[in-house]
Amino acid sequence: MAASASLRMLRSTPRKTRLVADLIRGKDVGDAENILRFTDRRAATPLLKLLKSAKANAVNNHDMFEDSLYVSQIQVGDGPTLKRFLPRARGRADLLRKRTCHIYITLEERRG
């Protein structure tokens, strides 16, 4: 039995978000919450909110025990890129790519 949650269109680059996601992969939910709470990265706040949502899904929808949950999977994928233009000298323009990402998290119960 697994419980999951997803966050789509997060306005953060996938590369920077993966650095935070790698910190909690395979950890118990309580440990993962503490890690995210004290991580000084911008992506830590939405990931903490997503983790709490997945935990609530597991407890309320799937009747799992909160103490035995762990992060079995966390995936950070590319979302659509917003393209904007930055004015430059002599009438030119540079392309700014504002990247987004999609995050999928799955929690499972530890056996034994």
The CATH number given to whatever domain includes residue 55 is 3.90.470.10
The whole-number pLDDT of residue 1 equals 87
Instruction: Specify the 3-state DSSP secondary structure of 9.
Output: strand
Provide the domain limits for residue 16.
2-109
**Average pLDDT, integer, range 78-106:** 98
pLDDT at 59 over 80: yes
Query: What is the domain count for the chain?
Result: 1
C-alpha distances in angstroms, 8 versus 12, 68, 101, 110? 11, 27, 7, 27
pLDDT at 53 over 90: yes
State pTM to two decimals: 0.94
Q: What is the pLDDT of residues 7-47, one digit of tens each?
A: 999 999 999 999 999 999 999 999 999 999 999 999 999 99
Helix axes 29-37, 14-24, angle to 10 degrees: 130
Q: Is 26 left (phi over 0), alpha (psi -120 to 50) or beta?
A: left
Question: What is the rounded distance in angstroms from the CA atom of residue 59 to the CA atom of residue 51?
Answer: 12
